[in-house]
Amino acid sequence: MTIVGGDGRTHISSQLMRESLQDRDVLARTDSDRDFHIFPDVSLVSIGGQSIFDRGKVAILPLVDELVQIKADKKLKLVIGVGGGTRVRHTMSIALDLGLPVGGVAQLVGAMEELNAILLNTLLAPHGSMPLQREHFWDLPLYFDAGITPIAISVPPYHFWEPPPEEGHVPMHGSDFGLFQLAEVLSMKQLIFVKDEDGLYNKDPKRHKDAQLISKITLDDLMKDLPQENILDLQLFHAWKSAKNLRRVQIVNGLVPGQLARALKGEDVGTVIIKENVR
Amino acid sequence: MSERRTLESALSGSTLTGPSSAINYRPVAVMPDVKVVKIGGQSILDRGRAALFPILEEVIAARKLGIQVVLLAGGGTRARHIYSIASELEIPTGVVATLGKYIPMQNARMLQMLLAKHGGIYMLPDDFEKLPLYLQLGCIPVMSGMPPFGYWEKHEEGSRIPPHRTDSGVFLSAEFLGARRAIFIKDEDGLYTDDPKKNPSATHIPRTTVKELAARALPDLVVERVVLEYMPRARWCKELQIVNGLKPGQVLAALKGEDVGTLITA
């Protein structure tokens, strides 16, 4: 490597030396259609806040039992994330009534899902689980070797720096997006959302009796008519559209015993969304 | 089957995926009088002492006048170097963004050491809530300009480089604090009709709008694209000021609120 001067600035020679990182042509030189794949055999499972945890014991304990059975397969590499549920919505309504900035709201909400993470970890700990610290992904191989199931933080660390939302005042980058991004950057095998519906419908099945379940669909087809009343954050789909690594997102019903286990085996239960032309 | 046990609130029925009309939102500015200032990486810090020391003198002078200043550091050539090597290795954007945190952090620490005897305090993103204390004590808080997204930074089509870098961090800090203007100290007077380093007949543009910049559809831009995307929908930060740190007096004038350099408004 060479140190280059002459214009008053000291540069290190590289492809990007002196270049504007806003220049589209310069940026294009840095990209390719693939990423190095970090953990391609790991599955990420998200357990819903409103849909599961807010229902209490009757919904949580059967799912914990199912997770314990799933963990019996020592080859399965599993990371769990959780949603925050109704307390997140309560936090936001108070914070927005107070007029806090969007970054302030984003900074607050993570604490509510952390409560669910602690609850779940308390119940799973006797069978081997541990909270995963924010960026400690590099410990994952150790966790798996030891038979420990890590429980990751779902809300992304956008915090005070949450960008202004496209509409309204609610932060755009919530826990669904956070877990998506975790699965994407680590190029995981699949991301499974455990909810209280059989999957994604064309409109909210809790409000519309004629809502239709979408069983298997490509991301491209789904984006043509993306359901606006969506069981997942819309930001997830937008980010996934310009992503490179994650191929499969599945939504299953956590109130139906066995659905999560079947999804982890690769069965098409619930809703399966596939991004084509990755890997 | 069990019911969801829901806390009643204005958003309790909401999926949080669309617009929220249920609340009459009357925003509160957190610290609107703070001057949020970026010191450029490639443009200033990579020039070393000759460029930086006079700028710091003006920042100290402003602080002595009672002006509250927060400094955020850019990256520069070392960031370009690691981005270049990481790109060859096809490292995912989220990891590249994490690598990108380290150089502005070094630069912020350098600034802190130089400003220590005048109250320079190094802040991590997690220390952001201590800002009122530092400013009331008369300190000059210094932090990295990089937003803390790291591994959670999205890939943008047509680039492996993180779209949110130190310009975004500076703008988003100003927006959170409720400051109307973010100030960028660079090595040029702001915007020109063409690149003044390559075309000597390029003329200076003292004032422009995000709309005008977008209409020109330039392949290159003076600030990160996402900042121009966010500004129109921002609540507070509606102005970017680009000033020439190599021209004596410009930084102090900008900190006093004068319209030197180029102003980009939304």
User: pLDDT tens for residues B154-212?
Assistant: 999 999 999 999 999 999 999 999 999 999 999 999 888 877 777 888 889 999 999 99
Tokens coding B38: 């970026």
Domain map (residue ranges) of chain A: 1-29, 38-274
Interface contact flag, B90 A243, Cβ < 8 Å: no
Provide, as residue numbers in chain B, all residues whose Cβ is less than 8 Å from the Cβ of A159: 125, 148
What dihedral do alpha carbons B178, A106, B222, B250 form, nearest 10°?
A: 30
Give the CB-side neighbour count of residue B167, counting CA atoms within 13 A: 26
Cα–Cα distance for residue pair A176/A79, rounded to 1 Å: 14
Cα–Cα distance for residue pair B22/B26, rounded to 1 Å: 13
Sign of torsion over alpha carbons A166, A169, B131, A177: negative
Interface contact flag, A9 B147, Cβ < 8 Å: no
Residue B220, pLDDT above cutoff 90: no
DSSP state of B4: P
Cα–Cα distance for residue pair B87/A34, rounded to 1 Å: 11
Provide, as residue numbers in chain A, all residues whose Cβ is less than 8 Å from the Cβ of B84: 14-16, 30
The reported pLDDT for the residue numbered A3 is 83
Interface contact flag, B159 A90, Cβ < 8 Å: no
Tokens coding B144: 């990295």
Residue B1, pLDDT above cutoff 70: no
For the A38-274 domain, the top CATH level (class) is alpha beta
Residue B19's pLDDT band (boundaries 50, 70, 90)? Answer: low
Provide, as residue numbers in chain B, all residues whose Cβ is less than 8 Å from the Cβ of A152: none
Tokens coding B165: 């870098």
Residue B20, pLDDT above cutoff 60: no
Closest chain A residue to the Cα of B51, Cα to Cα: A8
Using a pLDDT cut of 90, give the percent of chain B over it: 80
Of A10, A36, A170, which has the smallest distance from its Cβ to B77's Cβ? Answer: A10
Cα–Cα distance for residue pair A113/A123, rounded to 1 Å: 16
Q: Which of A3, A113, A5, A110 is nearest to A54 (CA)?
A: A113
Count interface pairs A-B at CB distance under 8 A: 262
Asked whether the beta carbons of A105 and A170 are under 8 A apart, the reply is yes
Domain map (residue ranges) of chain B: 35-265
Q: Which of B125, B88, B83, B77 is nearest to B100 (CA)?
A: B83
Task: At B242, give phi and psi (nearest 5°).
Answer: -110, 120
Tokens coding B198: 């390559």
Helices (H), chain B: 49-64, 77-88, 93-99, 102-115, 131-136, 166-177, 210-216, 225-230, 250-255
Interface contact flag, A230 B219, Cβ < 8 Å: no
In this structure, the number of other CB atoms found within 10 A of the CB of residue B12 comes to 15
Interface contact flag, A9 B43, Cβ < 8 Å: yes
Provide the whole-model pTM.
Answer: 0.94
User: pLDDT tens for residues B108-165?
Assistant: 999 999 999 999 999 999 899 999 999 999 999 999 999 999 999 999 999 999 999 9
The reported pLDDT for the residue numbered B159 is 95
Cα–Cα distance for residue pair B178/B171, rounded to 1 Å: 11
Of B29, B128, B155, which has the smallest distance from its Cβ to A243's Cβ? Answer: B155
CA distances from B123 to A123, B55, B66 (A): 37, 20, 20
Asked whether the beta carbons of A148 and A129 are under 8 A apart, the reply is yes
Provide, as residue numbers in chain B, all residues whose Cβ is less than 8 Å from the Cβ of A44: none
Would you call A63 helix, strand, or coil by DSSP?
helix
Residues A251, A256, A258, CA angle at the centre, nearest 5°?
85
Of A22, A230, A245, which has the smallest distance from its Cβ to B15's Cβ? Answer: A230
The reported pLDDT for the residue numbered B11 is 85
* Percent of chain A that is helix, strand, coil (3-state, to 5): 40, 15, 45
Tokens coding A84: 């925050």
The lowest-confidence range among A1-5, A130-134, B28-32, B245-249 is: A1-5
Local mean pLDDT, 10-residue blocks, chain A (279 residues) = 81 84 88 94 97 96 97 95 94 95 96 96 97 94 96 96 93 96 97 97 93 96 94 93 96 97 97 92
Q: Which CATH number fits domain B35-265: 1.10.3720.10, 3.40.50.2300, 3.40.1160.10, 3.30.830.10?
A: 3.40.1160.10
Chain CA centroid to CA B103, Å: 15
A89 vs B: CB within 8 A = yes
Interface contact flag, A55 B5, Cβ < 8 Å: yes
A27 vs B: CB within 8 A = yes
Provide, as residue numbers in chain B, all residues whose Cβ is less than 8 Å from the Cβ of A14: 77, 80-81, 84-85
ipTM metric: 0.92
B216 vs A: CB within 8 A = no
Closest chain A residue to the Cα of B21, Cα to Cα: A168
Asked whether the beta carbons of B228 and B214 are under 8 A apart, the reply is yes
Q: Which of B3, B218, B184 is nearest to A58 (CA)?
A: B3
Tokens coding B211: 């709309």
Closest chain A residue to the Cα of B153, Cα to Cα: A181
Cα–Cα distance for residue pair B261/B250, rounded to 1 Å: 8
Provide, as residue numbers in chain B, all residues whose Cβ is less than 8 Å from the Cβ of A20: 220-221
Sign of torsion over alpha carbons A64, A65, A66, A69: positive
Q: Which of A61, A195, A191, A42 is nearest to A122 (CA)?
A: A61
Strands (E) located in chain A: 3-4, 11-12, 42-47, 77-82, 129-131, 149-152, 190-195, 200-201, 213-214, 216-218, 248-253, 271-274
Residue B13, pLDDT above cutoff 90: no
B9 vs A: CB within 8 A = yes
Please state, rounded to an integer, the average pLDDT across all residues of chain B.
Answer: 93
Of B4, B18, B80, which has the smallest distance from its Cβ to A16's Cβ? Answer: B80
B117 vs A: CB within 8 A = no
Cα–Cα distance for residue pair B206/B190, rounded to 1 Å: 8
Provide, as residue numbers in chain A, all residues whose Cβ is less than 8 Å from the Cβ of B168: 161, 163
Interface contact flag, B90 A32, Cβ < 8 Å: yes
Q: Which of A71, A78, A47 is nearest to A190 (CA)?
A: A78
Residues A35, A36, A38, CA angle at the centre, nearest 5°?
120
Residue B104, pLDDT above cutoff 80: yes
Of B1, B42, B172, which has the smallest distance from its Cβ to A161's Cβ? Answer: B172
A-facing residues of B in 138-197 (CB < 8 A) are: 147-152, 154-161, 164-165, 168-169, 172-173, 175-176, 178, 187
Provide, as residue numbers in chain B, all residues whose Cβ is less than 8 Å from the Cβ of A27: 158-161
Asked whether the beta carbons of A264 and A192 are under 8 A apart, the reply is yes
